[in-house]
Amino acid sequence: MAAIVVMEMRGFAALASQLSREMDVIGVTEARIRSSAISIANETIQRAGKPYGITKRMHLGGDTWYFTFDNPEDALSFSCELLGDFRSLANERGVFFIKPSMAIAVGEPQFDGERFLDGESIAAYRAADSGKPYQLLVVGDAVNRIKQVKGVIGEDVPKEKDTDPPKYRVDWQGIATEGVKKAAPIISLPTLLLDSEIIYSHSSEEAVQHLVRQQERSQQVYAFGGPVPLDVPMYRNYMRSAIAVLKNKPECVWTVLSYLPLNESFHTYSWLELCRRLSVFYPNSFAFAAFTIPEGQLRPFSYHIYDETTVHIGLRSFSPQRGTPTMSSAIMFRNRQIAQRFRDEFMENWRRIGAISERTMGAFTSSIQGLSNEVKKAALESVEKLLAE
């Protein structure tokens, strides 16, 4: 039988909304806080798990992590090590908003995708989900196995119902502090930047050239930003290249998340229609989600993530010709950890917004200001011409 460990982040949903309250003005959003917490948790897990044989690892639903091991002893050692590292982050690095609760069980794990099917995994999840921060519980048949491990101290948890499995609360701090005290894991963005290969584009033309080259050799693309202006030649060339990749490289998967300015009728409508058609033409390799922003709202910066190793960030300046901020230059990082942080934030936003549907497409179209029949006709002609090129 395998040993099962479930970790639940207590208050994970509430902490992001509380910390981000009234911080949108400087770009500290709820999704950004959640993605930062996920990134810190994953880096800490990676560090703590190195000495132990993790046989399976899954991150479920934003606030749940699931691990399996060959034996309960490794599961216990890993859990104590991980909680000790999180404790150090709180006490020595000031990362107070990560509050893990963990549980250990033994059994035969069974899954349907990311859903538990076996009773032991479900029991461990329920114990972690109802536990307190920095608590380590053992449930079911794992209790007797863990009690036999040398040096383990703890206490039995009284049953609320006769049908409840036995539970044992481990004094993990007593176990974790027996050895030499380790320094807290260092989570440092400046260090990540110094360890990166950085490419700076001095113009929008140069930035678009980098985008085209990168997407033509990538297998996975996550793209976040506003509508691509299809009437601008260099951006039209960028989209022409992207469409060619979709046609000729079915193994390349695109996930696009866009904000839609409601006061730019031609660009917003043509972009919506193009992405809608691409999601229909290439359902296995192109997914699209969007949200609207009103006139005058500060626009998020754009970025692309390629193969979870490279991030391309568009930098903005105001364009008198278009009357809006537009990409004027860019910076590209080749660093897996930075790419992971951006991907975590991207996926958090995607999870909250969801892929576009016919209903949301209709709602977006109705919200666009100044969308006359003439504008619609011009936008559709531009999209059809691009798809035919």
pLDDT, tens digit, for every residue of 97-131? Answer: 789 999 999 999 988 776 788 899 999 999 999 99
Homologous superfamily assigned to 2-176: Nucleotide cyclase, GGDEF domain (3.30.70.1230)
**Which residue did the predictor score with more confidence, 16 or 374?**
374
Report whether pLDDT(283) > 90: yes
Pick the CATH number of 189-388 from 3.90.1010.10, 3.30.300.30, 3.30.1360.70, 3.30.870.10: 3.30.870.10
Which of 43-52, 133-142, 205-214 is predicted with the least confidence, judged by mean pLDDT? 43-52
pLDDT-derived band at 92 (thresholds 50, 70, 90) equals confident
More confident residue, 302 or 183: 302
Total-model pTM: 0.56
Q: Give the integer Cα–Cα distance in Å for 337 and 16.
A: 21
C-alpha 210/C-alpha 311 separation (Å) is 11
Q: How far is CA 49 from the centre of its chain?
A: 21
Report the C-alpha dihedral over residues 249, 384, 358, 282, rounded to 10 degrees. Answer: -10
Average pLDDT over residues 381-387: 95
> Is there a contact between 339 and 310 (Cβ–Cβ < 8 Å)?
yes
Domain borders along the chain are 2-176, 189-388
Amino acid sitting at position 61: G
Could you tell me which residue, 247 or 184, shows the higher pLDDT? 247
pLDDT at site 24: 67
What is the mean predicted confidence (pLDDT) over 272-287? 95
pLDDT at position 326 is 67
What is the C-alpha to C-alpha distance for residues 207 and 303, in angstroms, rounded to an integer? 11
Residue with tokens 């002893």: 73
Which residue from 30, 21, 27 is spatially nearest to 62, judged by alpha carbons?
A: 30
Distance CA 43, CA 57 (A): 13
